[in-house]
Structure 1
């Protein structure tokens, strides 16, 4: 059973729709981003350095170690590395709010990180994927072109992000009206597309999901744990640690899925990993946020009593 030889079908039309939805996600993030959110680099440089370090360096490095420890097939390993190199997802802010974390800091983290990832993501995938003993063969076969991937990422997330920032700066009332509808519509549409992609390739999904479930579960734990430990060891407060946890643990796996079909011909392990990650990280994040929210309410009740 070699998932590396399987290919997930995804039509050109669906790929265009996926790109539009991903663009709307970035537009929604930008519409909720004020210029002052980027000032966190100056106001709270320690937190921002920790956040970027956890996402750009620690998470891919730990992910590489996890793929080696689990002895995963090449395409599954590269799928996890690809997700680890993706920018944070906008759901992180919702989860931070639900958990009682620092939402303002989460918004700033997401804004700065997405701007940085436009430039770093292609290089990160090539670098970390190239370190894996078998995944590097896939990169060699597809002749990954970082410049071409940069162009794709810039069009999908960079341009919509810039448009959203412009609208927010010039027409804040319009941005305020559009932000929530755009964000929630794009999120629901993304989940729908991922479910449709998995359902349309039902046989491949059923055949290989058992191989992917454990890997994605462990990777999600590692991602959330990396953010949490970075915040705690970095001396951040409890609310800031929650923001750091979700900012690191929630990745834009939808973008990863789009890149899998655009640059890797929908290779089985990568596609199933990115697709399942896009659903599972929301479920896992909601579970953790709910636990934190209940603990916060419990402690508040004890203090009041």
Structure 2
């Protein structure tokens, strides 16, 4: 599909708000990291299969499946680029909570979050550039924006890597304090972050209302495909029920907040991209909770939990 008016619309987000958004995302990641300890990584050496399957589903399979979906739907170029951006991001910050609620392997979920966050420093910019340039309409958009991949790597490292390492360090030194802080910080920072996203959408409500249904169905289908990808690959590799649920959740819950921040920073809030990422951020909470509720009725066998 050729260029559309949405491809030229910018979602307005001033510099001051952008800095606040940066701080909010870093705070969210710090809150998540407060519950991650070095012992969680021991699972990687004890049972590397589940970890490798999870990383494979998230960083290799999901972007490739997204590319096929883009070819099939042929959405507006900016929407397609938003889909590539979301697929390139690591798991979302609520994935651990949803995985636990769904009866998944909590240790695997936490370990995957930590590893995916570190891997994302390089893989998020790489996947966005690789798949974005492979599809002609989005390649044209990328050429006009001229994204500096090195600058993107630096920003992702600053927003994800640094808070992760600081949170883990505090948990190692003062575990009791870290657990107390995590309970408050995760809720407060997440609410703060969601409020900023809602404010951005409200300030641009005309664009939002005009394209709400068009974007909604694409996000719904894309998110369903992401969950299905995680579930299918875990099933294919013969993982137990608890691990399968965690990998399904980790693949379907993407850090669209990071995606939004990168869109505002490097793409000047490109309309289709920003709407897609913002919508994903709202919808994956709903779909994740629905999936967890269904699985919660059918608990995974306790002996299969790692």
TM-score, normalising length from structure 2?
0.95
Count the aligned residue pairs: 299
1:125 paired with 2:128, answer: yes
1:144 paired with 2:152, answer: no
Deviation sequence 1:183-210 (CA, Å, 0-9, x none): 1112111211111111110000011122
SS at match of 2:200: helix
Contact 1:118 1:150 in 2 (8 A): yes
Matches within 5 A, 1:76-95: 76-95=79-98
Unaligned runs of 5+ in 2: none
Deviation sequence 1:89-113 (CA, Å, 0-9, x none): 1211111111111111111111111
What is the Cα deviation at residue 40 of structure 1?
2.2
- Equivalent residue for 2:240, pick from 226, 237, 240: 237
TM-score, normalising length from structure 1?
0.95
Measure, in 2, the Cα distance between the counterparts of 1:186 and 1:137. 36
Measure, in 2, the Cα distance between the counterparts of 1:113 and 1:149. 16
> Which consecutive segments of 4 or more residues in structure 1 shift more than 3 A?
none
1:167 paired with 2:175, answer: no
Measure, in 1, the Cα distance between the counterparts of 2:22 and 2:41. 26
- Equivalent residue for 1:261, pick from 261, 264, 268: 264
1:113 paired with 2:131, answer: no
Matched residue, 1:198: 201
What is the Cα deviation at residue 296 of structure 1?
3.2
Deviation sequence 1:4-23 (CA, Å, 0-9, x none): 01111111111111111110
Measure, in 1, the Cα distance between the counterparts of 2:238 and 2:5. 45
Matched residue, 1:9: 12
What is the Cα deviation at residue 271 of structure 1?
0.5
Matched residue, 1:34: 37
What is the Cα deviation at residue 121 of structure 1?
1.3
Matched residue, 1:303: none
1:286 paired with 2:289, answer: yes
Deviation sequence 1:63-110 (CA, Å, 0-9, x none): 011011011110000001100000111211111111111111111111
Unaligned runs of 5+ in 1: 301-305
Q: Which moved more, 1:212-221 or 1:179-188?
A: 179-188
What is the Cα deviation at residue 123 of structure 1?
1.3
Contact 2:263 2:270 in 1 (8 A): yes
Measure, in 1, the Cα distance between the counterparts of 2:109 and 2:51. 10
Deviation sequence 1:232-274 (CA, Å, 0-9, x none): 1110111111100111110110110011010001111000001
